[in-house]
Chain A
């Protein structure tokens, strides 16, 4: 027994020495890597955008394409035989598509940093990190013919452009809607107060989205209800505004039944009645209403909503840039953009997609051509230190948001 024990101690000691040595090795190379990232900088938006060359003409395809996508954005018929826009693309361009599904915006950012991919379908809470990290190139929109008919309210926005230069092609968008079970919640709510008020009659049956970006929902509500805080943009919060938002969420935790991040979980909670009111994606509501267990209604309340707007971006060091441009034009063509949007459950960015939609009510359901509806949405944007106004670099960045979210959940 003694011999065994001493072996264990020795192994532990070796492990410790190894760990310290490794940490030491790291510090010797710190100067180099720190210099390499200084352009990205911790100051976020105040930092310079790394110069990355833009393609000036689309040449012949390279025969392959490696892309990172949200689940459902690049279907090749393996989930549903009738849902396939990858094979036709391969036939018409000769670019063999390799799809990597990213589960979260953060995972997509990490994957793009490996430099092995040509492009990504990035949400607004990932785009700026990619742009300022020098991981993506500006996009020459004149090389993407279908860009001209993309909805105008999606062009040159904070989450897909810098200084008027587009860094991608808009793909589709949706709002995080206030959803309720009409049989359990009366009268029909028209304000987020029903999910934020500590005395909500639906205590224990309220749901919220399980992500740091949900802090913006609280900020959006405060923007309307607490004008003293002077919140102009729910993604640009200084310390006081941020504290107000996180305090509101801490109070809200008392009435929450469940946080959701997996949409199937959200659907089952609505069906069983564990959730009767809360923030949902349109696709969740459609799935519930397609079933027989429950019916739900939803709205964009008077305070507005947060939402997402996805953008196809080209990697700075893409090995197959021509194929990526071909793909961006393909995915935003009316027929394909309609297919993707209907399959995924979001509004297509391509205005002409509505003309070819198989389901004629589809574009109305998702308000695809409704700029007034779109204007009520505050699209997910990466929070950065630079507030984007006279306050300077005093805003809370995404790292602070993630820490705060863990603390809120407690």
Chain B
């Protein structure tokens, strides 16, 4: 009986004090957010100002800008950062170009039965492991692989391993992340708007430009955030199909895995963070984030 009364007393106390109730409800997620999530980010940025003993790899905890100087002074890091940015933009544009007609067809043209099938077929690649898909592309892009075989009749051959291969593979890997938001965007667009545009005499192209595209733009932006940021952080695909090229995440990875230089890796990690922040700022300017 006593437990019951304790429970009753506790619950009536909570009932009377909404602030305690709120604190109890939010404290765990807040601790998680502040300590585990923001805290680890803060530790990372703090570590960027330290350095290591170059021989034994022991951390030296004294404040220095050296890592950032190296990042700025060495042209190689700028080159790799620009290449990575280029790949991220290319992947985003390719995915957008493929996703727009695909999502439009799924949302507006296909019968409900076909629509379900198409959505399922876009989702199925997500069930397979990232590595399996990347290695599948390695096999396809390899010498005498599927691409070489398919292009042979028209006198061409596949791109081989390198930048093009990386862009293709990443565009394939992140395509569902672009199609799904755009598809949802088209679904929300009422058919009547398209009909009204047609009734007023607009040709298909004009309807697309002036009615459909503005309506799905926020969805396109949402998708682009995925494709852009996922590409910026990728270092495995380039290891598998990149041949001799490297991306910025490889620089970070090698700083830890090869050089055992955690502080420099932390400093390098601020570069993609900065790129994403710039990208999000540009995106916010367009007002797309408010309409998501």
CA of A24 to CA of B50 in the docked complex: distance in angstroms? 10
Cβ–Cβ < 8 Å partners of B257 in chain A = 103-104, 106-107
With A42-B55, A133-B56 given, is the CB distance from A33 to B61 under 8 Å? yes
CA of A77 to CA of B59 in the docked complex: distance in angstroms? 38
Sample (5) of A-B pairs whose CB atoms are under 8 Å apart? A15-B38, A133-B56, A261-B239, A402-B254, A406-B76
Which residue of A is nearest B80, CB measured?
A410
CA of A397 to CA of B138 in the docked complex: distance in angstroms? 36
CA of A274 to CA of B161 in the docked complex: distance in angstroms? 9
Taking chain B's interface residues, is the majority helix, strand, or loop, or is none over half, making it mixed? loop
Taking chain A's interface residues, is the majority helix, strand, or loop, or is none over half, making it mixed? helix
CA of A47 to CA of B55 in the docked complex: distance in angstroms? 10
B258 at the interface (CB under 8 A from A): yes
Cβ–Cβ < 8 Å partners of A103 in chain B = 257
B160 at the interface (CB under 8 A from A): yes
A74 at the interface (CB under 8 A from B): no
Q: Are A40 and B56 in contact (CB under 8 A)?
A: yes
Q: Are A27 and B53 in contact (CB under 8 A)?
A: no
Cβ–Cβ < 8 Å partners of A129 in chain B = 55-57
B39 at the interface (CB under 8 A from A): yes
B169 at the interface (CB under 8 A from A): no
Cβ–Cβ < 8 Å partners of B138 in chain A = 265, 268
Residue from A23, A27, A402 having most chain B Cβ neighbours under 10 A: A23
Cβ–Cβ < 8 Å partners of B55 in chain A = 40-44, 47, 129, 132-133, 384-385, 397-399
Q: Are B142 and A22 in contact (CB under 8 A)?
A: no
B207 at the interface (CB under 8 A from A): no
A182 at the interface (CB under 8 A from B): no
Q: Are B260 and A211 in contact (CB under 8 A)?
A: no
> Within the complex, what minimum Cβ distance (angstroms) separates A329 from chain B?
29
A407 at the interface (CB under 8 A from B): yes
Cβ–Cβ < 8 Å partners of A44 in chain B = 55
> Within the complex, what minimum Cβ distance (angstroms) separates B157 from chain A?
12
Q: Are B50 and A23 in contact (CB under 8 A)?
A: yes
Q: Are A24 and B38 in contact (CB under 8 A)?
A: no
Cβ–Cβ < 8 Å partners of B160 in chain A = 204, 257, 274
Considering the complex, which residues of chain B in the window 239-289 have a beta carbon less than 8 Å from any beta carbon of chain A? 239-240, 243-246, 251, 254, 257-261
CA of A410 to CA of B76 in the docked complex: distance in angstroms? 6
CA of A33 to CA of B52 in the docked complex: distance in angstroms? 11
Which residue of B is nearest A407, CB measured?
B76
With A258-B244, A409-B244 given, is the CB distance from A27 to B161 under 8 Å? no
B57's partner among A109, A261, A409 (CB-CB below 8 A) is: A109
Considering the complex, which residues of chain A in the window 220-267 have a beta carbon less than 8 Å from any beta carbon of chain B? 253, 256-259, 261-262, 265
With A106-B259, A133-B56 given, is the CB distance from A1 to B243 under 8 Å? no
Cβ–Cβ < 8 Å partners of A107 in chain B = 257, 260
Q: Are A30 and B161 in contact (CB under 8 A)?
A: no
Cβ–Cβ < 8 Å partners of A399 in chain B = 54-55, 259, 261
> Within the complex, what minimum Cβ distance (angstroms) separates A283 from chain B?
20
B45 at the interface (CB under 8 A from A): yes
Cβ proximity bits A101-123 to B, threshold 8 Å, 1 near / 0 not: 00110110110010000000000
B217 at the interface (CB under 8 A from A): no
CA of A41 to CA of B56 in the docked complex: distance in angstroms? 8
Considering the complex, which residues of chain A in the window 8-45 have a beta carbon less than 8 Å from any beta carbon of chain B? 11, 14-15, 18-20, 22-24, 26-27, 29-30, 33-34, 36-37, 40-44
A61 at the interface (CB under 8 A from B): no
CA of A406 to CA of B256 in the docked complex: distance in angstroms? 13
Cβ–Cβ < 8 Å partners of A265 in chain B = 138, 240
Q: Are A406 and B251 in contact (CB under 8 A)?
A: yes
Q: Are A253 and B244 in contact (CB under 8 A)?
A: yes
A273 at the interface (CB under 8 A from B): yes
Cβ–Cβ < 8 Å partners of A15 in chain B = 38, 41-42, 45
Q: Are A397 and B54 in contact (CB under 8 A)?
A: yes
With A14-B38, A268-B138 given, is the CB distance from A37 to B79 under 8 Å? no
A94 at the interface (CB under 8 A from B): no
Q: Are B60 and A33 in contact (CB under 8 A)?
A: yes
> Within the complex, what minimum Cβ distance (angstroms) separates B135 from chain A?
9
Q: Which 7 A-B pairs have the closest CB atoms?
A: A22-B46, A399-B54, A26-B61, A40-B56, A30-B62, A272-B142, A402-B259
Contact count band on A: 35 or more
> Within the complex, what minimum Cβ distance (angstroms) separates A41 from chain B?
7
Which residues of A pack against B, CB within 8 Å? 1, 11, 14-15, 18-20, 22-24, 26-27, 29-30, 33-34, 36-37, 40-44, 47, 103-104, 106-107, 109-110, 113, 129, 132-133, 204, 211-212, 253, 256-259, 261-262, 265, 268-269, 272-274, 384-385, 397-400, 402-403, 405-407, 409-410
Residue from A256, A400, A406 having most chain B Cβ neighbours under 10 A: A406
B174 at the interface (CB under 8 A from A): no
Cβ–Cβ < 8 Å partners of A23 in chain B = 46, 49-50, 63
With A19-B42, A23-B63, A272-B145 given, is the CB distance from A407 to B74 under 8 Å? yes
Cβ–Cβ < 8 Å partners of A110 in chain B = 57, 260
Q: Are B60 and A30 in contact (CB under 8 A)?
A: yes
Known: A272-B143, A405-B254. 9 other contacts (CB 8 A): A26-B63, A36-B58, A44-B55, A106-B259, A132-B55, A257-B244, A273-B143, A384-B55, A398-B55
Q: Are B143 and A274 in contact (CB under 8 A)?
A: yes
Cβ–Cβ < 8 Å partners of A262 in chain B = 239
Q: Are A19 and B45 in contact (CB under 8 A)?
A: yes
Q: Are A22 and B56 in contact (CB under 8 A)?
A: no
B154 at the interface (CB under 8 A from A): no
A109's partner among B60, B139, B243, B260 (CB-CB below 8 A) is: B260
Cβ–Cβ < 8 Å partners of B50 in chain A = 23, 26
B144 at the interface (CB under 8 A from A): yes
Q: Are B143 and A113 in contact (CB under 8 A)?
A: no
With A272-B143, A409-B244 given, is the CB distance from A402 to B258 under 8 Å? yes
Cβ–Cβ < 8 Å partners of B53 in chain A = 37, 40-42
Cβ proximity bits B136-180 to A, threshold 8 Å, 1 near / 0 not: 001100111100000000000000110000000000000000000
A133's partner among B54, B58, B142 (CB-CB below 8 A) is: B58
Which residue of A is nearest B45, CB measured?
A19
Cβ proximity bits B73-110 to A, threshold 8 Å, 1 near / 0 not: 01010011000000000000000000000000000000
Q: Are A40 and B58 in contact (CB under 8 A)?
A: yes
B43 at the interface (CB under 8 A from A): yes
